[in-house]
Structure formats: structure tokens, C-alpha cells
Amino acid sequence: MARRPSKHLRPARPLDTARFARREAKRSGCYLVRNIPAGHSSKTYTCPGCTKAIPAGMQHLVAWPEEPALGFDTGVEQRRHWHPHCWRLFR
């Protein structure tokens, strides 16, 4: 039985932006933002705003740039998980 390639070598999964994401403008550009309910959060993430952990089971949001930065094919490759408060403070 063949092994699946490492998830780090696979391309980023596409997110359904049509139904669940909203567009938000920040000083650094436009972002697509999606709320993650507590019941759907099964992993621990590090918030880029405060560098503290977002534990599994905590409501948070995921945001990615609408236009990818140089070196990225899509903005989804740059998605990050944020505490809602940290996202509000992000410029």
C-alpha cells in the first residue's frame, strides 16, 4: 500500500470562499476572513498577532490575503489563524 505524501509537501487545500468568507480591508491590503466555531476547531494554532496559542476547541478566525504575495500562487497558502481580538487590532 502506497503512503500519502507529507501534508507539508501537498498544495494547500482550497477554502470555500463563496459561502463562509467575508472580505475585510486593512491597511496592509484586503483579506478574506472566515470564522471558525469552537466545535470545529480541532488543532492548536499560534496566533500571529500575539504569538500565543489558540487551543483546540476555541473559537477563532482564519484570514488570508485576497491577492497573494510574491512567491505564492494563492493567498490561501498564506492563511493564518487569529484570536478575534488580535485580528481587530491588526492593521
Q: What is the pLDDT of residue 18?
A: 54
Task: Quote the number of domains for the chain.
Answer: 1
Give the separation between CA 53 and CA 29, rounded to whole angstroms.
25
- Which domain does 45 fall in, by range? 19-89
Confidence of residue 11 (pLDDT cuts 50, 70, 90): confident
Q: Taking the model in full, what pTM does it have?
A: 0.76
Cβ contacts of 58 within 8 Å, gap of 6 or more: 38, 41
Residue 75 lies in a domain: yes
7 within a domain of the structure (yes/no):
no
pLDDT of res. 27 = 93
> In this structure, is residue 44 part of a structural domain?
yes
pLDDT band at residue 1 using 50, 70 and 90 as cut-offs: low
pLDDT class of 52 with cuts at 50, 70, 90: very high
